[in-house]
Structure 1
Amino acid sequence: MTARLDFYKAGPDAIKAMVALEQRIAKSSLEKPLIELVRLRASQINGCAFCLDMHSADARKAGENERRLATLSAWREAPFFSERERAALEWTEAVTLVSQEHVPDSVWSSVHGHFSPEEITDLTLLIVAINGWNRFAIAFRKMPA
């Protein structure tokens, strides 16, 4: 597969806007391991090889467990995730796949029970950001190095 466009060079102002989202996420109270799990799960759903490669490496560098990384796509069946992580992963799936079920009330109840209003807002921003990065990388065929 051949890259279509270097979007960093073609749209530096657009990338600055995306980076601003990342700066807010970095300042949030969300735990770094949780942030990487959310990025990975959305990237799995979207099939973004570039983002999967990058964020799995970032997760490993941050000390993430190989078993959790290997079972992330089956998090519902795997015993390695906390209730808070499960709520975040369920929220990630619902927001990423918003056209399918429009984020059901049951998913809201779950995430609302484990996160503060500010954290839910930041978690949603994180999901919006990674979905945006996935779309840039997929549309322009950015490949892992």
Structure 2
Amino acid sequence: MVNLSKQHPSAYKSLIALNGEADEAVKQAGLDPLLGELVKIRVSQLNGCAFCLRMHTRDAIAKGETSDRLAVVAAWWESQYFTDQEQAALGLAEEVTRLSVPAREDWDNGSLNDEQISAVSWLTVVMNAWNRVAIRSHYPVGP
């Protein structure tokens, strides 16, 4: 097993810097940091990354997220727990991750402006990269 962060630490540090830029873009776009955690959780669910799921679920709880909302984030479109903006961000994150569905008309309800769409897109790109680093490196996830 190859730990990517140890094999090429400068690439890993660049990803850390890009992560910071994406988080800052979310903040500058006026999006709630909790929405950012929901996006990170959903992207990690789609990618099957246990390491990132555990980390960002804990981060979301620390920021005040509820267990009910966390329980249904995998089926966000079937619940009434999420605001229009959260639904739009989660749909956009799925589109960027899957590169096919849902189509823009399925998530673009007008609640995200262009800056926010860009911020959520960058956050999703970075989260996809982190998921792949963690999965490929076989980061341990135990109790």
| TM-score scaled by length of structure 2 | 0.88
Contact 1:91–1:107 under 8 Å retained in 2: no
Distance in 1 (CA, whole Å) between partners of 2:8 and 2:111 is 37
1:131 pairs, out of 107, 128, 131, with 128
Once superposed, what is the RMSD of the aligned Cα atoms?
Answer: 1.6
The sequence identity of aligned pairs, in percent, is 38
Would the aligned equivalents of 2:49 and 2:135 in 1 still touch at CA under 8 Å?
A: yes
* 1:86-112 superposed Cα distances (whole Å, 9 cap, x missing partner): 0011111111100x34x63414633xx
Which 4+ runs in 1 deviate beyond 6 A?
A: none
1: distance between equivalents of 2:58 and 2:4? 22
Structure 2 residue 87 is the aligned partner of structure 1 residue 90: no
CA displacement at 1:20 relative to structure 2: 1.4
Q: Judging changes above 3 Å, is the alpha-carbon distance between structure 1 residues 56 and 105 closer, same or farther for their aligned structure 2 residues?
A: closer
> 1:36 offset after TM fit, Å?
0.3
Residue 115 of structure 1 is matched in structure 2 by: 112
Partner of 1:68: 69
CA shift, 1:124, in A, is 0.5
The answer (yes or no) to whether the contact 1:43–1:52 under 8 Å persists in 2 is yes
Total equivalences in the alignment: 138
**5+ residue gaps in structure 2?**
none
Any residues of structure 2 matched to 1:1-145 within 5 Å, and which?
4-28=1-25, 29=27, 30-98=31-99, 100-101=100-101, 104-107=103-106, 109-110=108-109, 113-144=110-141
Deviation by residue 1:59-107 (Cα, 9 ceiling, x = unmatched): 1111111100011111111111000000011111111100x34x63414
> In structure 2, what is the Cα distance between the partners aligned to 1:135 and 1:86?
24
> Could you tell me whether the CA contact under 8 Å between 2:95 and 2:104 is conserved in 1?
no
CA contact (8 A) 1:38 1:88 kept: yes
Structure 2 letter corresponding to 1:143: P
- How far residue 12 of structure 1 moved from its aligned partner, in angstroms, is 1.2
SS in 1 for 2:78: coil
Q: Structure 1: state its 5+ residue gaps.
A: none
TM superposition shift of 1:114: 1.5
TM-superposed CA distance for 1:6, in Å, is 2.4
Secondary structure at 1:125's aligned position in 2?
Answer: helix
